[in-house]
Amino acid sequence: MKWAVAILVTTLIAVLLTGYILPDKDLQVDLSNKLLRFHVIANSDDEADQQLKLKVKDAIVECLDPYLTATDSKNDAMVLINSKLNDIQRTAEEVIKEEGYEYPVKVSIGKFDFPVKSYGAITLPSGEYDALRIVIGKGDGKNWWCVLFPPLCFVDTAHGKVRDNTKEELSRVLSKNEIEEISSDRPEIKFKAVEIVENIASKVSDTLKLAFQKRPPD
């Protein structure tokens, strides 16, 4: 009986995946191929550590922004970032030292998981994206996320505002349809629903694998 239920659940999830998740997955893959993101993780959730995270972010964005504004593609942006990893590391360390801390900093560029995130008028779906990642100290604090290419990182930390020309910047690399998809009515709710279903599907899949592994031979 329980195997019949398991098969039914799996079938329902397959229908959800086929009819709802896959189109957004295609969108996420397309976006991932064109966008370079930025991820900063604080040492802890202590208020001082959170403020330090933002100061490190501000310094690095200020350092990279003029160069990234002049780049024409994600690949060019990644080449630029790779060439400046030592400068990024040094900039982060200097800010941390100036603020009176001795936290180590880990700077890397690669593929990382991102949750659904909104940036002003746009919302990006969850999934893997190429990103510059900075971990401060233990990396146990809340994250800060943005888009390095096209350069859409927050410029007003106090009010969480993004550039006024967000869609104009995106039009450099995204199609009109892609921009509409991520700036349509309440896309965050849609993307979060997809994220929830994906998580459920993953958990059920893991449970079924475990169950079949433990199933005694007939």
Please state whether the predicted TM-score (pTM) of the whole model is above 0.85. Answer: no
Quote the CA–CA distance of 141 and 45 in Å, as a whole number. 4
Structure token pair of residue 131: 């990103």
Residue 60 maps to a domain: yes
H helices present in 125-186, as ranges: 166-170, 176-183
- Residuewise pLDDT in 10s, the chain (218 residues): 555 555 555 555 554 544 444 446 788 899 999 999 999 999 999 999 999 999 999 999 999 988 998 898 999 999 999 999 999 999 999 999 999 999 999 999 999 999 888 877 788 888 999 999 999 999 999 998 889 999 887 544 444 455 556 777 788 899 888 888 888 655 554 555 555 555 555 555 555 555 556 555 55
Residue 191 maps to a domain: no
Structure token pair of residue 129: 């994206």
Listed residue (150, 133, 146, 127) closest to 198, CA to CA: 127
Residue in this structure with the two tokens 């994220």, named with its chain if needed:
195
Quote the CA–CA distance of 166 and 123 in Å, as a whole number. 12
Residue 150 maps to a domain: yes
Residue 172 maps to a domain: yes
Q: How many CA atoms lie within 13 A of 201 on its CB side?
A: 17
DSSP string spanning 10-45?
HHHHHHHIIIIIHHHHHHHHHHHHH-EEEEEE-S-S
Residue 31 maps to a domain: no
Residue 61 maps to a domain: yes
Q: Are 63 and 94 in contact (CB under 8 A)?
A: no
Domain that holds residue 163: 37-183
At 182 the pLDDT is: 86
Structure token pair of residue 166: 């967000």
At 19 the pLDDT is: 46
At 47 the pLDDT is: 96
Q: What proportions of the chain, in percent to the nearest 5, are helix, strand and coil?
A: 55, 20, 25
Residue 146 maps to a domain: yes
- Residue 175 has a CB neighbour count (10 Å cut-off) of 12
Angle, in degrees to the nearest 10, between helices 187-214 and 22-34: 110
Q: Are 80 and 68 in contact (CB under 8 A)?
A: yes
At 24 the pLDDT is: 63
Query: What is the sign of the dihedral through the CA atoms of 139, 77, 32 and 178?
Result: positive
- Stretch (H or E) spanning 129: strand 127-136
Residue 202 maps to a domain: no
If one counts the domains in the chain, the total is 1
Contacts of 108 (CB under 8 A, 6+ apart): 132, 133
At 164 the pLDDT is: 55
